[in-house]
């Protein structure tokens, strides 16, 4: 059975969806503008969460900044391509998961 699981993972790793997802992911990581923007968004999200959890209304101001930065990020063609490739890869993973689930249900 482990051989079949290894075969499935190998098939996923060798798929066009995975290769293209990894390729655009590497390009994305090397783009300093995108990396900085993503890091800024993550830090602002932490700050907003902290402020909101402490009932500090300033979280709304931080949320507005986050929304502007997310909008800027979404305007980036490389980032949009990354999201598209990630969706395609996620579909592949979902299909694989469904195959495994159906197999298990048939055997039980």
Indicate whether 86 belongs to any domain: yes
Indicate whether 82 belongs to any domain: yes
pLDDT value of position 1: 65
**What is the C-alpha separation between 59 and 101, in angstroms, rounded?**
42
Indicate whether 51 belongs to any domain: yes
Contact assessment for residue 47 and residue 62, using Cβ atoms and an 8 Å cutoff: yes
pLDDT value of position 9: 84
How many CA atoms, within 13 angstroms, populate the side-chain half-sphere of residue 32? 0
Domain count, the chain: 1
Domain range enclosing 79: 16-96
Q: What is the CATH number of the domain that holds 91?
A: 1.20.1500.10
Contact assessment for residue 89 and residue 21, using Cβ atoms and an 8 Å cutoff: yes
Q: Please, which contacts does 37-45 make with residues 24 or more away whose CB atoms are closer than 8 Å?
A: 37/69, 37/72, 37/73, 37/76, 38/73, 40/69, 41/66, 41/69, 41/70, 41/73, 44/69
Indicate whether 105 belongs to any domain: no
Indicate whether 67 belongs to any domain: yes
- pLDDT mean by block of 10 residues, the chain; 108 residues: 79 93 92 94 98 97 98 95 95 90 82
Indicate whether 11 belongs to any domain: no
DSSP code of 58? T
Indicate whether 23 belongs to any domain: yes
Indicate whether 45 belongs to any domain: yes
């Amino acid at each position: 059975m482990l051989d079949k699981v290894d075969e499935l993972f190998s098939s996923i790793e060798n798929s066009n969806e995975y290769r293209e997802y990894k390729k655009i992911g590497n390009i994305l990581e090397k783009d300093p503008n995108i990396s900085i923007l993503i890091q800024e968004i993550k830090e602002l999200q932490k700050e907003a969460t902290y402020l909101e959890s402490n009932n500090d209304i300033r979280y709304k101001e931080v949320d507005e900044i986050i929304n502007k930065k997310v909008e800027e990020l979404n305007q980036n063609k490389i980032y949009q391509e990354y999201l598209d490739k990630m969706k395609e890869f996620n579909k592949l993973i979902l299909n694989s998961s469904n195959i495994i689930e159906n197999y298990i249900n048939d055997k039980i």
